[in-house]
Copies of this chain bind each other. A is one copy, B any other.
Amino acid sequence: MARNDRDAKRHRLLEAAAELFAHKGYHATRVGEIAQQAGVAKGTVYEYFATKEELFYALLDHWLTQFESELSERLASEPDPLQQADIVREAAVQFYQRHATHAPIFLEFWAHALRSPDGRFLGRIQRFRAFLEEWGHRLTKALVDGGVFLPVDVPSLVRLEAGISDGVFLLWVLSGQGFSLERAYVFRQSVLGLGVLSEAARQVLQEKLRQKLREGFLERSLES
């Protein structure tokens, strides 16, 4: 079998697994179902992945690696830190939206990572977070050093931003994806921006950001 065939079939299996894991959850999904969905026999799954968990891990790795590659590429061609911050936000939103139906799986990745005794899941996730933090740290530091941001403990701010991203994502997932993820990220960015921008920078951006605050990100306001 040609290399391409193998890769294609492997990819079909990952896609089938993604769909089923998203829909029914990791534990409730049967290996036979994945095979069926991918159009192969049950035994064939084990030609590509040693265990069901291995397939689960491969899915995590596939997605994170893909995101890392894409983001690296985009950021490499944009030197301005402020623009880079937008790129990261856009990339995250696009990634999540592209995988909108798969979103619930991430909760399972996290839950699994906390139990898995071999630490592979947790390790991969932390490597991903480290990758993001590295970029976050670099560009946040540039903004602080450039006087755009107030003096602030950069690692803490970066971590907080990461946490907030996950939190907004969680909110989005648990609320049935009932609002625009992109607008929510813009809203978040506006609040944080007003919080950490230096006086000078704020003078410039204040109006625009305050406007975002007034708009919110929910389709139907709770007030209405």
Chain A positions near chain B (C-beta within 8 angstroms)? 24-25, 27-28, 104, 107-108, 110-115, 122, 125-126, 129, 133, 137, 150-160, 162-168, 170-171, 173-175, 184, 187-188, 190-196, 210, 213-218, 221-223
A137 to B223, CA, bound (A): 9
In the complex, the answer to whether B110 meets A218 with C-beta atoms within 8 Å is no
Quick one: which of A125, A129, A162 has the most chain B CB within 10 A? Answer: A162
> Nearest-CB distance from A29 to chain B (Å)?
10
* Chain B neighbourhood of A114, CB < 8 A: 25, 104, 107, 173-174
A111 to B110, CA, bound (A): 9
Chain B residue at minimum C-beta to C-beta distance from A196: B191
A151 to B214, CA, bound (A): 6
* Chain B neighbourhood of A193, CB < 8 A: 195
Besides the contacts A157-B216, A166-B171, what 12 more A-B pairs have beta carbons closer than 8 Å? A114-B174, A137-B222, A153-B216, A155-B222, A156-B184, A156-B216, A160-B217, A166-B166, A167-B170, A191-B192, A194-B196, A196-B213
Contact of A153 among B115, B155, B156, B214 (CB under 8 A): B214
Given contacts A174-B113, A174-B125, whether A214 and B152 have CB atoms under 8 Å apart is: yes
* Chain B neighbourhood of A154, CB < 8 A: 221-223
In the complex, the answer to whether A222 meets B133 with C-beta atoms within 8 Å is yes
> Nearest-CB distance from A163 to chain B (Å)?
4
Chain B residue at minimum C-beta to C-beta distance from A122: B174
